[in-house]
Structure formats: structure tokens, C-alpha cells
Chain A
């Protein structure tokens, strides 16, 4: 079962390998000399800058919020994760309009600096970094925050007793302890940056993903596109393996007699400082975008543009994301279980292969699926099936990872206890394992739901005829500069994500 799922998940990979094998040596050489150096440089520097950006925003916020008690703390947590509801291409679109001479930031800039200093251009790596960091830092925040709130005091106290200063404790004790959580968060962020399509194409920043898309779409050159994809996959897998390698070497165990950390009440000056910093983050990562959406949605509302068609798109989006999340959570289960049981290099390899969907650019996944279905199962083509398959492949890794993480708390002794008491394996699964990992299952569902709801490139290519989702409409309207039509769709995505985000938070708080 696990193997079957993984084989299905690797379809796009076979497509890429097959197509790129058609490339002759000369073509590879040409690709190498003409495009690759620039693309490698652009993509890698973007990934590094986004990682730094997310680290600064995410870890700082997590540290202040997890360790200090101050008025509005719960609200602050929410403000830090709300940016998850806004897709990168919406961020990119909003920021390009804000930085226009007649956009809010443009006007403010000219008010302060006059005409002498040009409004900064964001159609470059800094714009892309800004957008991807704002859209991604919440992942780092979430993981760092939950790690900080469960970590114990013992080690910190030991350091303090030895005479370490506060800053020393942070750099020498807390940060190293946080390393796995931060690494996991950054891994998600970097993978998102590597495979991001919407934001970089709106900002015209040539990364691998955008270039692959242009090769395919503009030049009908699938082979070069596949060649580039192969390089990108190699890049991402190297990164993943490195990340796992460093994480595997650093497993931390907490002693049995642990004392939970107590929140220190922050002094008034500190409260001011904390809120200043958090407001700054949230101003750019949530408040500005949401106010922009609201004001243009209001425009749309007064012009009567929110009609039945619009609600149709919303329904399409929500049901698609829900179906996708449900199926992905179910099919991820065998893989996660299998890996949990065996922990062999084979099971580990299965997990790695299943994560291919996450590192491949959306357009490539879509084309791989399209080609595969037309060649093998043409009868099912035309309906929702192809799109679902592509989305599940893209987001299966999210489900697997989060279920895998939840299973870490299942010790063999618990299962053995079940079996000794006479439970059949299936009964054991139902009565012992599933209840124990319920939180992980819910998180898996929510994570897939959020990403599927925002998914753009595969949906653009594979949606059934006439089946438009909110992201598709945002894309179309934004490229036609119909802001009053793009904004309500973006707002609807935020609203649609809120309830599931609430479930996720409830889960995180429980652990």
C-alpha cells in the first residue's frame, strides 16, 4: 500500500527523468552555458535570503511571545500566523500595487522623501525576498514557538548557575536546543521558495521554477524544461538530505523530571518594545494586505461585482481543498506508519521519494500528470481526477511529515501492550494508534487544506473546463489589473482558511 502510493506520487519525477533523457549532450551543454549559472545564482541567493528573512522574523517573534507574558499575548500569536492565509502571489500582487507612485507605500514614500529619492523597485531579488519572507515566516514562528513553549528550564538554569549572562543563555543553550525546530521551519520555507511560481512570475524574477515554466509554455521545449527541473530536484534533495543529516545527529531527549517554563512578566518598557516589533511585522505581513483587500472588496461590493459566479468560485475552491486534504491524509497514513514501524533505509527512501511533489515546481507536476493520464487512463481525463491527483502529489509530503512527527510519540511498548491485551493489529490501529495521533492527523489535514486552497500553477493547467477556483480568478483578474475583482477572491481565501487555522492552533496548544 505504502509502496503503491509512493509510486503514484513519483509520476512527475518519471516524467522529468524521461524527458530530460531525451536531451542530447550538446543541448545539456548549451543549457549549462547559457542559463544555468544565472538561474543557480538567482535561485540559491533567493533561498538564502528568504531563509534569513524568515529566521529573523519568525524566531524573534517566537522568542518574545513564548517566554514573556504581556497584554495581548494570545492576540499576538494569532497575528503571527495569520499571514499563512495569504498566498505568495497575492502578497506579490498587493506589494507591486502598493509600491506604485499612486499606491499607499509609494505615496507615503514621496511624502517623506519627495521626488528626489526614487521609490524602491521591487521587481528584483529584494522584492521577491520581501514577499516570500512575509508569506513564509509564520512556519518558522509556529515551529519555534511550540518548541520553546515545551522546552524545559533545567538546562537554562544550569547555565545561569554557571554564571552565563542572558544573551549567552540564548545563543548557547536556547538556540542550539531550538535548532531542529528552526531547521524544520526553514526547510519548509526554503522548499516553498524553491518551488514558488506565483510570486516570482509576478515580480519577473528568474528562478528555476519561472524559467522552467517559460521554457515549457513559451517555447514548447519540454526537454529543456525537464532538464532544468532535474537540476532543481537535485538541488532540493541535496538540501533535504543535508537538513535531515544535521537533524538526525542532533536528537534531544528531555529528562523525566521536567519543569515547564514559566512565563516571565514583561516590564512596561519591554512590553512597548515587544509590541513595537510585533506590530511592525504584522503591519507588513497582514494588516496592509488585509486593509487593501477590504478596501477593494468594498469597491467591488458597491459595484455589485460579487455575484453568483463569485460564490461558485469560492465553493469550487473550498470543496477542492477539502477533498484534497481528506484524501492526502488518508493515503499518507500507510507511508507514515510504514516508516514508523521499520525505520529502515528503504522506508526512509520512500519518504524522500514521496516528498518529490513538494520540491517539483507546480507546472511540472501538472504536465507530468497530464501526460501520464492521457497516455494510460484517458477515460478519466476531463473531470476533476487529474487535478486532484496533482494536488495530492504536491502536498502529500506535508501530510506524511506531520503524521510522521506525531508518530514519534508512539513507543513500541504502547503497541505491545495493546497486543498483549489481545488486540488484533487492526484493532490496535483503531483503538491505540489512531487516537494517539489524532492531533497529528488533524494537523496534516489542515496543512494540506491551506496549501491546496492557495494552489495556483497546477490548478491553472489541470482544472476541468470552466472550473475556476479563487486562485485562478485572482491570477486572471490581477494580470488584467482588475483589482476590484482580485481583492474579494483573495479576501475569501483568508476567510476560508481561518476556521481550519483555528483547529490547527487548538491542536498546537494542546500539546
Chain B
């Protein structure tokens, strides 16, 4: 027994010492729900310029927000980064974030930040249609609501209804129009896809490119990502709902907030300031071809220029307020 216990103790201490100490003192921690590959470049740049280390703790936005909530004042997190305005607003409603100083929020339009300045948007993306240029629909589609047209039966691609961009998009349509319209629209799409939905946006774009389906509802950057690899692909972007009486394109933002319990607020503010600086905005948005939220910073040249098209007039914080309502509607209709 003794030798057994001894062996166990030795193994344990050896192994415990192999696990590195959680973090150094002059580093900040970012809970990140955004893809590592889109976050790391700008963070690396920041560390290089300021010497401040940043630990990126990645995961699903909502799971990380839960963690932040339960951890309370024990949290390590200084900043919370999410791809979805709805999640950010949820955190704000739960009182997890601190009000950001005017110097930081001033450069970001009021539509792209929390009403009480507890979070700011860093980059915006548009919900658009991708169509196969050889299909008859390339010329006839104008609105997302056209996707409910029975003529599209078997020719439409949408993602699984748990996708956060999808939910946020439906929230925007819900706020910009009305419940009945959105309900009819969802039901129409449901019968058009016949239970078969896509797991990822990128697969919708591939399916449209191969002609398997004719049209898909996606975030704009997936189209350009596909064109990078297959420049000859017969696909094009349609910015929907541009008519005078129409609602415009639905946007969603990726954004950032500061934890109420951050013990390194000064360092965290430095990162925030960097992220909204012209240089930081360029790097952060460009890598995924999103639209910088700071006025005057241009998006990548390949995407339609911001300001050249109409955007739905829905403040982003509304996405969080109506999130549960949207999910209820989606579930009530039984979207796959």
C-alpha cells in the first residue's frame, strides 16, 4: 500500500508541475467566440507593438458568456469578443460588462454599439444572396422574401437554424417588418428546402457554385472566400431588398466588451483602443473581408463598398433583446 501511495504521489506531483501556471501578470485574457484565425493576426500585431501579452481563450460565444456569468468576480477574462451582436447584448443585459469610456466608443456609429456603451461592434457583415449565374434566378431575385417563392423548391440553400448569423438575420427581418410576414417567409423557405439544410455557410456556396442548388442565404464573405479558391466559379452576390420601400440588407457585427470584473482595465483599454484605431480596424475586418465599423475606414476592395447600398435600420443591440423571441418563432415553425 505504501509503495502504491508513494508512486501515486510522485506521479501526481510530476504531472501537476508539468501544467503551466495559468498566466503571467502583465498579460490580458480575451474570451473569444470568433475564429482564432481571424483574431490572432490583429492580436499578434498588438503584442508586437505594445509588448502586452494576450491570452486568447476560444470557444463558443454563448458558452463563454455562460462561463463569464457564473464565474462572477472570479473570472480571468478581461475582454469578451463575440461574432454576434445578440450575444454581446445578452451579456450587457446580464450586467456582465462595464461601460466603455467615451474616447473609445466615439468613433463607432450608434447603430453598431450598445445603447449604454457596454460593447462596441468591430466589424460588420451582411446577409446576402448568392446565386448561380447560369440559373434563371440570377436576374429575378431581389428580396430575401423571394426565397419563400415555391418556384425555388429544391433550389434553395439555408443553414441549420441554430446558426447564430441565421438567428440574427431573422431578428433583423422581424424588427424591420412584422411577425406575420416573417412567419410566412420562414414557412415558405421550410417547404422549399424540404428538411434538407446545410451545416455550414461555406457548403451552401459550394453547392450553388456546382449548380446543385441555385440560390443561398449567406454572409457576404463566404462568397469571396469561395472565389479565392475557385476564381472561375459561376456565382455572384445579390444585395437584397434595395428598393425604395424595402428594408435593406440585414447586418450583424462582431464586437467586444470589457468584463465588469477585469483587474487589468488599463491594459484592456489599450487593446480596445488598438482595435478601433484605423490600423487595427483595417487588420481586424480585412482578414475576413468584413466592413470596419469605424467611419472612414474602407473595407476590402473586393466587396461592395459600404454606403453604396442600403442597410436595414435596426440598431444592433436590438438583436439581443429579441433573440429569444426569434428562437421561439423559428422553433414554433419547426425550421430544421
Q: Which A residues fall within an 8 A CB radius of B?
A: 34, 96, 100-101, 121, 123, 204, 214, 216-220, 315-316, 319-320, 322-323, 326-327, 330, 367, 370-371, 374, 378, 381-384, 426, 429-430, 434, 460-461, 464-468, 476, 480-482
User: Could you tell me if B71 and A370 are in contact, using CB atoms closer than 8 angstroms?
Assistant: yes
Q: Are B19 and A319 in contact (CB under 8 A)?
A: yes
Decide if A220 touches B66 in the complex (CB within 8 Å). Answer: yes
For residue B297, give the distance in angstroms from its CB to the closest CB of chain A: 25
* CA–CA, A370 and B22, complex, Å: 17
Bound CA span A93–B110, Å: 41
Within 8 A of A (CB), among B143-170: 160, 162
**B58 with A218: CB separation less than 8 A:** no
Which residue of B1, B65, B160, B196 contacts A434 across the interface (Cβ within 8 Å)? Answer: B1
Interface residues of A: mostly helix, strand, loop or mixed? Answer: helix
Of all A-B residue pairs in the complex, the 6 with the closest CB atoms, nearest first, are A430-B1, A466-B55, A465-B76, A217-B62, A319-B15, A319-B18
Do A378 and B12 have beta carbons less than 8 Å apart? no
Per-position 1/0 for B24-52, Cβ under 8 A of A: 00000100000111000000000000000
Secondary structure of the B contact surface, majority rule: helix
Binding site for A on B (CB under 8 A): 1-2, 4, 8, 11-12, 15-16, 18-20, 22-23, 29, 35-37, 55-60, 62-63, 65-67, 69-72, 74, 76-77, 90, 94, 160, 162, 196, 199-200, 202-203, 210, 324, 327, 331
- Report whether A217 and B60 are in contact in the complex, using a CB–CB cutoff of 8 Å: yes
Known pairs A219-B324, A426-B1, A465-B23; A323 contacts B72 (CB<8 A): no
Please give the distance in Å from B213's CB to the nearest CB on chain A.
12
Instruction: Check if B1 sits within 8 Å of A382, measured CB to CB.
Output: no
Q: Which of A34, A123, A382 contacts B199 (CB 8 A)?
A: A123
Q: Smallest Cβ distance from B74 to chain A, in angstroms?
A: 5
- Considering the chains assembled together, what is the distance between the CA atoms of A320 and B196 in angstroms? 40
Are A429's CB and B8's CB within 8 A?
Answer: no
Residue of B nearest to A430 (CB): B1
Q: Which residues of A are found within 8 Å of B324, using beta-carbon distances?
A: 219
Are A465 and B1 in contact, CB atoms less than 8 angstroms apart?
no
A460 to B202, CA, bound (A): 25
Task: Name the one of A383, A460, A465 contacting B55, with C-beta atoms under 8 angstroms.
Answer: A465
Residue of A nearest to B57 (CB): A465
> Nearest Cβ in chain B — how far from A149, in angstroms?
29
Q: A218-B327, A374-B74 are in contact. Are A323 and B55 (CB under 8 A)?
A: no
A-B contacts besides A220-B69, A382-B76, A461-B63, 14 pairs, CB < 8 Å:
A217-B63, A218-B162, A219-B324, A319-B19, A320-B19, A322-B11, A374-B71, A374-B74, A430-B4, A465-B29, A465-B57, A467-B22, A476-B59, A480-B37
Write the chain B residue with the least CB distance to A217: B62
Closest B residue by C-beta to A466: B55
Q: What separation, in Å, do the CA atoms of A121 and B162 have in the docked complex?
A: 19
Q: Within the assembled complex, what's the spacing in Å between the Cα atoms of A476 and B33?
A: 10
Chain B residues near A467 (CB-CB < 8 A): 19-20, 22
Across-interface contacts of A382 in B (CB, < 8 A): 22, 74, 76
User: Given known contacts A322-B11, A326-B12, is B67 in contact with A466 (CB within 8 Å)?
Assistant: no
**Measured between alpha carbons, how far is A467 from B56 in the docked complex, in Å?**
10
Residues of A within 8 A of B8 (CB): 326, 330
Contacts of B200 in A (CB 8 A): 481
**Bound complex: CA A466 to CA B4 (Å):** 33
Nearest neighbor of B207 in chain A, beta-carbon distance: A101
**B11 and A326 within 8 A (CB):** yes
Shortest distance between the CB of B138 and any CB in chain A (Å): 22
Closest chain A CB from B53 CB (angstroms): 10
Taking each of B18, B77, B210, which has the highest tally of chain A beta carbons within 10 Å of its own beta carbon? B18
Nearest-neighbor residue (CB-CB) of A468 within chain B: B58
CA distance A372 to B166 in the complex (A): 35
Interface contact B16-A429, CB-CB below 8 Å: no
Question: Which residues of the partner chain B approach A96 to less than 8 Å between Cβ atoms?
Answer: 199
**Chain B hits for A468, CB < 8 A:** 58
**Minimum C-beta distance from B32 to chain A (A):** 10
Given contacts A204-B199, A460-B59, is CB(A216)–CB(B15) below 8 Å? no
Contact of B15 among A34, A219, A322, A330 (CB under 8 A): A322
Contact pick for A378, options B23, B36, B55, B74, CB 8 Å: B74
A residues near B160, Cβ cutoff 8 Å = 204
Q: Are A466's CB and B202's CB within 8 A?
A: no
Q: Which residue of A lies closest to B73 (CB)?
A: A378
Q: How far is the CA of A367 from the CA of B65 in the complex (A)?
A: 13
Complex partner residue of B19 from A316, A367, A465, CB under 8 angstroms: A316
- Contact yes or no, B199 A323, CB < 8 A: no
- Contact check, A217 vs B37: say whether CB atoms are below 8 A apart: no
Residues from chain B with a CB closer than 8 A to the CB of A384 are 16, 19
A2 CB, nearest partner CB in chain B, Å: 17
B60 engages A204 (CB within 8 Å): no
With a CB–CB cut-off of 8 A, which chain B residues contact A461? 63, 66-67
Closest to A216 in B: B66
Assess the A371–B70 pair: CB atoms within 8 A: yes
Shortest Cβ gap from A206 to chain B (Å): 10
B8 to chain A, nearest CB (A): 6
Please give, as numbers and ranges, the residues of chain B lying within 8 Å of A323 by CB-CB distance.
11-12, 15-16
Q: Is the CB of A374 within 8 A of B55?
A: no
B196-A121 in contact (CB<8A): yes
A-B contact pairs, 15 of them (CB 8 A): A101-B210, A204-B160, A214-B162, A216-B66, A219-B324, A220-B69, A319-B15, A320-B19, A323-B11, A434-B4, A466-B56, A467-B22, A476-B36, A476-B59, A480-B36
B77 is contacted by which of A216, A371, A465, A476 (Cβ under 8 Å)? A465
Could you say which residues of chain A place their CB within 8 Å of the CB of B11?
322-323, 326
Q: Return A448 CB to nearest CB of chain B, in Å.
A: 13
From A480, which residue of chain B is reached at the shortest CB distance?
B35
Q: Please measure, in the bound complex, the distance between the C-alpha atom of A460 and the C-alpha atom of B94, giving whole angstroms.
A: 22
CB distance from B204 to the nearest CB of A (A): 13
Report chain A residues within 8 Å CB of B20.
Answer: 467
Q: CA A481 – CA B205 in complex, angstroms?
A: 15
Contacts of B36 in A (CB 8 A): 476, 480
Residues of B with C-beta under 8 A to A316: 19
Question: In whole Å, how far is B56's beta carbon from the nearest beta carbon of chain A?
Answer: 8
Query: A383 to B199, Cβ gap below 8 A?
Result: no
Question: What B residues does A217 contact at CB under 8 A?
Answer: 60, 62-63, 66
CB atoms of A370 and B67 under 8 A apart: yes
Are the C-beta atoms of A466 and B162 separated by less than 8 Å?
A: no
A461 to B68, CA, bound (A): 10
A179 to B143, CA, bound (A): 62
A218 x B62 contact (CB < 8 A)? yes
Give Cα distance in the complex from A384 to B23, angstroms.
13
Docked pose: A445 CA to B186 CA in angstroms: 52
A220 and B22 contact, CB distance less than 8 A: no
